[in-house]
Amino acid sequence: MKFSHAILTALLMALSSTTLAALAFDDPWSPLAPPGRTMAGFMVLSNTGDAPIALVDGESPQFGRIEIHDMIKEDGVMRMRRLEALNIPPGEDVVLASGGFHIMLMEPLTTFEAGDQIELSLIDAAGQRHTTQLEVRPR
Ligand SMILES: [Cu+2]
């Protein structure tokens, strides 16, 4: 069987649209920090699709560097560590909150006040970008 290029392209597009990862953001926010300081991003992430999502990176036009962090207890002390990937199984939620998973918003390129919005894209292992806005709130 021989497909024309147009038909093949249409088939591939249909296929890729059905496999697009679906990530929902609930209540994304960030506590206000002193100017120039690293900030944290909190939210609930829901994988509303039927495939696992592995978040591996992030980007924001307002920060030089974004990392995905976890907290672990080491010698009785809570420490942050960078995650290679934050995995969210299909149909599951992951809570990002103080003391647990969080987004590290590093190298701020601007100053913030309460009520400002931070644009954040989380990037999955397939290279797909999931973009949201975090509301800056007083601590
Ligand atoms: Cu951190």
Distance 106 CA to ligand 1 centre (A): 9
pLDDT score at 21:
84
- State the average pLDDT over residues 41-61: 97
Superfamily of domain 21-137: PCu(A)C copper chaperone (2.60.40.1890)
- Distance, CA of 107 to CA of 30 (rounded, Å): 15
pTM (2 d.p.): 0.85
Reduced to 3 states (helix: H, G, I; strand: E, B; else coil), residue 7 is: helix
Distance 4 CA to ligand 1 centre (A): 50
pLDDT score at 91:
96
Asked whether residue 19 carries a pLDDT value surpassing 80, the answer given is no
pLDDT score at 16:
56
Share of the chain above pLDDT 70, in %: 87
Distance 15 CA to ligand 1 centre (A): 37
